[in-house]
Amino acid sequence: FRTLFMLQVENVKLLDRYTNRKAANGTLYLTATHLIYVDASAEVRKETWILHHHIATVDKLPLTTAGYPLLIHCKNFHVAHFVIGQERDCHEVYTSLLKLSQPVKPEELYAFSYNPKMSKENREIGWKLIDLKVDYQRMGIPNDYWEITDVNKDYEVCNTYPPEIVVPRAANKAVVIGSSRFRSRGRIPVLSYLYKENNAAICRCSQPLSGFSARCLEDEQMLQAIREANPGSPFMYVVDTRPKLNAMANRAAGKGYENEDNYDNIRFKFIGIENIHVMRNSLQKLLEVCEMKSPSMSDFLTGLENSGWLRHIKAVMDAGVFLAKAVKDEKASVLVHCSDGWDRTAQVCSLASLLLDPFYRTFKGFMVLIEKEWIAMGHKFSHRCGHLYGDPKEVSPVFTQFVECVWQLMQQFPCTFEFNERFLLEIHDHVYSCQFGNFLGTCHKEREDLKIFEKTHSLWPFLLQKKQELRNPLYRGFTAYRELQPNTLPFSFQFWCGMYNRFDKGMHPKQCVLDHLLSCVSQKMKLEDSASELENKLPFLDGPLPSEACSLSKVGSAASKTPMLNTPQDYEGEPPPALSNGASAGDIDVMSDGDQKHKENLPRHQDLRDLNVTIDILDSEAKDGEPQHH
């Protein structure tokens, strides 16, 4: 490696769920940004890269005959099980990783040192790629009822909102300021999405500081203004996305929810989505299921049920569907909040927008959606994703759940998104990687204070350059589908193996349809794409672009032409497994070489492994005639 490494340790094994003690010895390197494991034992050198920021926990496991084990759990669900020969080395790696994975100050984050070859102008253009004003214009705003106001330009109204927010014209400054004093953190009702076809709006805010009986004239006027901005409907919905019990408990703390008696013509509704602590625990349980070695079908399904994970995904989806239906079918505006209006509220509003508007299902549109509902409107990314050393109780997979809801929609509507699953996974990776400035901090003001826009890069141009691999070959275009009405019966929700068992290649289909179809599409689309890319005025790296022709030839070339090699797993269902997994040579995982330095890399070309162990297992079986079932 040309990069300097801080630590180099020999005699390290990397185990996976299928390896036995015969795992090869390799070398572990620690750089300032990554952990890199190199296995040079076979003909093909294998590298495994783990970004320090991606590390969630490092645990020392009890000593085994093979050495000193270290178990690393990553925030993108990669689990790395190392066994280190020397105790002193193990301890040194352990303490180093603990420190490297938990930076204390924002300035220590990768984004501030990440320095690709790019001119200053292009970096700045990158930040301007997404302009929220353009999206409001697309909705027809400003119009007779709604305006973009700069009343918050100095964050006087709300310090976690962006400087420019959309409010009803009828709501004057006094109403805005008054309402902000009656809302948790000053997060007043503002527009999230306007459904042009019938003037119904999705608005969002935080909980009112109503306690048991407090009222606020300005807040009531604010809601009235929102309702009257939609003359086509006699009422509006106010949706509290918390379970009723939680919302009621908040009243004792001087907060709570809207009293229908005090607000004219509102229909109040609870749609219970559990809080961040429940979600954190749910994910933890789900990951335990994913890590089980050779579970039975029963173990897996019971574990899945007990985690509650899909139940929560469904709850978020149900809420999004409710909002979309209210707007489209009932033509009624909806005001959504949770407690502080930046967890469940963000999930539900962005999901509803996606269901209603095909623009948000395009590359550009999805970026706009995230910039608007998550980044601009504030979301505690730094806390929820554990960017810095802090309170573990603040960590919660809120954004992950939103991304999963999008994936669930992709399963039901395969032709309706311009992008594919990999796009979602890349975004998810980078929410945690801190390589780009978009997701640092908690709100716009904080990003300004940290000088994100001067010192870091935006994720979006980086992703747009990889469009060829991230597109959906089945996309039928912008006008093919309008509103989506997903089936939300329980059986419609699938377990997302590509996310939660992403790195267990043996579990996934052995042949990659996506790559094959991408290569079918690419020839045709190439011309169309260059045209639209010029439109987007993409910043280009000063250095040569990763050669498109090169990555195209990788994409899909192996898919159907070369016969697929794979090897059997252990069909005994027993640990320790005797046979290698199915993910051997021929595994088609497309990543252009340029990515390797900046993201996790996975062993791609594994050799067929030695399979003489079958005999041992079968022999021991037949001795007593009893099946070796778990």
193 or 493, CB closer to other proteins? 493
339 half-sphere exposure, CB direction, 13 A CA radius: 16
- Binding residue per annotation — 616? no
> What whole-number distance in Å separates Cα of residue 206 and Cα of residue 184?
6
Residue among 32, 140, 618, 630 that touches other proteins (CB under 8 A): 618
Residue 60's φ and ψ, nearest 5 degrees, are -90, 130
Name the minimum Å distance from CB 601 to other proteins.
23
- Binding residue per annotation — 275? yes
Residue 11's φ and ψ, nearest 5 degrees, are 60, 50
Residue among 57, 284, 494, 553 that touches other proteins (CB under 8 A): 494
Name the minimum Å distance from CB 248 to other proteins.
23
Within 555-609, residue ranges assigned H as helices are 557-561
Contact 176, 165 (CB under 8 A): no
> What whole-number distance in Å separates Cα of residue 242 and Cα of residue 239?
9
> What whole-number distance in Å separates Cα of residue 373 and Cα of residue 347?
8
Binding residues for other proteins restricted to 463-482, rule: CB under 8 A: 473-474, 476
- Binding residue per annotation — 342? yes
Tell me which residues are annotated as active site: 338
- Binding residue per annotation — 20? no
Binding residues for other proteins restricted to 7-66, rule: CB under 8 A: none
Which residue's structure tokens are 């962005």? Answer: 350
Residue among 102, 230, 465, 567 that touches other proteins (CB under 8 A): 567
Name the minimum Å distance from CB 571 to other proteins.
5
Binding residues for other proteins restricted to 183-202, rule: CB under 8 A: none
Binding residues for other proteins restricted to 266-325, rule: CB under 8 A: 290, 294-302, 304-305, 308, 310-311, 314
Q: Is 262 in the site for other proteins (CB under 8 A)?
A: no
Binding residues for other proteins restricted to 397-416, rule: CB under 8 A: 412-416
Binding residues for other proteins restricted to 574-613, rule: CB under 8 A: 579, 581-582, 611
> What whole-number distance in Å separates Cα of residue 270 and Cα of residue 288?
31
> What whole-number distance in Å separates Cα of residue 519 and Cα of residue 526?
11
Residue among 5, 270, 495, 540 that touches other proteins (CB under 8 A): 495
Contact 324, 198 (CB under 8 A): no
Residue type, 59: D
Name the minimum Å distance from CB 16 to other proteins.
13
- Binding residue per annotation — 624? no
35 or 315, CB closer to other proteins? 315
> What whole-number distance in Å separates Cα of residue 216 and Cα of residue 46?
64
Name the minimum Å distance from CB 566 to other proteins.
5
Residue among 2, 4, 489, 549 that touches other proteins (CB under 8 A): 489
Count the residues of the shown chain that bind other proteins, applying the rule CB under 8 A. Answer: 75
* C-alpha to C-alpha distances, 248 to 220, 260, 279, 291, 343, nearest whole angstrom: 20, 14, 20, 38, 18
- Cβ-Cβ contacts under 8 Å for 120 (sequence gap 6 or more): none
- Binding residue per annotation — 143? no
105 or 623, CB closer to other proteins? 623
- Binding residue per annotation — 343? yes
96 or 566, CB closer to other proteins? 566
Binding residues for other proteins restricted to 507-566, rule: CB under 8 A: 507-511, 513, 516-517, 519-521, 524, 559-561, 563-566
- Cis peptide, bond prior to residue 603, ω within 30 of zero: no
> What whole-number distance in Å separates Cα of residue 46 and Cα of residue 38?
6
Among the residue ranges 77-85, 145-153, 244-252, 485-493, the one whose residues contact other proteins (CB under 8 A): 485-493
- Binding residue per annotation — 341? yes
SS (H, E, C) 6-24: CEEEEEEEEECCCCCCCCC
> What whole-number distance in Å separates Cα of residue 212 and Cα of residue 180?
19
Which residue's structure tokens are 């890349």? Answer: 426
Among the residue ranges 20-28, 212-220, 448-456, 616-624, the one whose residues contact other proteins (CB under 8 A): 616-624
- Binding residue per annotation — 487? no
> What whole-number distance in Å separates Cα of residue 607 and Cα of residue 285?
34
User: Which residues contribute to the annotated binding site for substrate?
Assistant: 275-276, 338-344
User: Which residues contribute to the annotated binding site?
Assistant: 275-276, 338-344
